[in-house]
Amino acid sequence: MSLISFVIPAKDEADSLETLFQKITTVMGHLPDYNFEVVFVDDGSSDKTWEIMESLAVDHPNRVIALRLRRNFGKAFALATGFQASHGDIIITMDADLQDDPEEIPRFIAMLEEGYDLVSGWKQNRQDPLSKTLPSRLFNKVTAWLSGVPLHDFNCGFKAYQREVLQSLRLYGELHRYVPVLAHDRGFRITEIPVKHHPREHGVSKYGWERYARGFLDLLTVLATTRYRHKPGHLFGGLGIASGLLGVAILTYLAVLWFSGVRPIGTRPLFFIGILLVILSIQLISVGLLAELITHHANEKPPEFAILERAGGDVA
């Protein structure tokens, strides 16, 4: 019997935890082929969230694991902590605010049974104010375009994973929303399913506009570590060549003016910009070459997640 671990981070969600646990228990009661556990992570709550989690863990010691962080570390850290404490072959993440519907759980499991490694939810009819849905749509479109991963909703916390997907990742900052991008880069099979999204019944949202700024910065990190992880020279070299060409073009233009009798040239701001661009080009290309040398000599061992299947070679 396979074990499913539900990892649920929460901050000030005391009013919804018991209801969420009951709903998960009811749904899993109709899936006799699966056992389950629920890993609650209190991410620095100031209400009675921890007391509720602790009570559930005492009442259901074989079902509930409750973890309390020392302070608010953020969702990615809370998720990573929950993943580490979980034991399941399949891991499902959900938000604690009851906006995700546990009735959708069998659909996620069915997609994993079809051979997918990661199933991401898509809140088609999001029950949130326009001030949240508009920036979220823009964020998702930009992320899909830049990453090349054709998902509609990177922000959806309702996801299901095969354990090996999460074992290949290290989450921090706002990287939890980019798990599909990181998993896709590692060759895992990813899909997306539309899910119901309910209006928030209790409390208020813990996320504001600042998370999108942090998210876009982390997107740059993700792109750098996926597209250019093994060939950093392509990134720095490309930027260096672009900078150098622009600098040479500026200096060539100024040289033409000088030969045409338009003087002085050396005191023009454009002259210094051209010189700086050429110097920047040399520095970027040098950094790229140095990064290539470091990558080459690192002798990175091929990761286990890169191997899909193996046959033969048994040693007695």
Band of pLDDT at residue 162, cut at 50, 70 and 90:
very high
pLDDT for res 168:
80
Q: Is the pLDDT of residue 208 over 70?
A: no
Read off the pLDDT of residues 67-118 as tens digits, 9 standing for 90 and up: 999 898 888 888 988 998 999 999 999 999 898 999 999 999 999 999 999 9
Rounded to an integer, what distance in angstroms lies between the CA atom of residue 190 and that of residue 57?
33
Read off the pLDDT of residues 33-70 as tens digits, 9 standing for 90 and up: 999 999 999 999 999 999 999 999 999 999 999 999 98
More confidently predicted of 267 and 187: 187
Give the chain's mean pLDDT: 83
Band of pLDDT at residue 123, cut at 50, 70 and 90:
confident
Rounded to an integer, what distance in angstroms lies between the CA atom of residue 230 and that of residue 83?
27
pLDDT for res 312:
45
CATH of 2-227, one of 3.30.930.10, 3.30.1120.80, 3.90.550.10, 3.30.530.20: 3.90.550.10
pLDDT for res 316:
43
Q: Is the pLDDT of residue 311 over 50?
A: no
pLDDT for res 249:
93
Q: Is the pLDDT of residue 124 over 60?
A: yes
Q: Which residues have a Cβ under 8 Å from the Cβ of 316 and sit 6 or more positions away?
A: none
Q: Is the pLDDT of residue 308 over 60?
A: no
Read off the pLDDT of residues 60-69 as tens digits, 9 standing for 90 and up: 999 999 999 9
* 153 CB burial (10 A radius; 0-12, 13-18, 19+): buried
Give the number of other CB atoms < 10 A from CB of residue 103: 13
Cis, bond preceding 102 (omega within 30 deg of 0): no
pLDDT for res 86:
93
Q: Is the pLDDT of residue 18 over 70?
A: yes
More confidently predicted of 300 and 160: 160
**Residue 232 to residues 43, 60, 147, 284: CA-CA distances in angstroms?**
36, 50, 17, 11
pLDDT for res 172:
65
* 2 CB burial (10 A radius; 0-12, 13-18, 19+): middle
Give the start-to-end residue ranges of the domains of the chain.
Answer: 2-227, 232-299
Q: Is the pLDDT of residue 224 over 80?
A: no
More confidently predicted of 130 and 31: 31
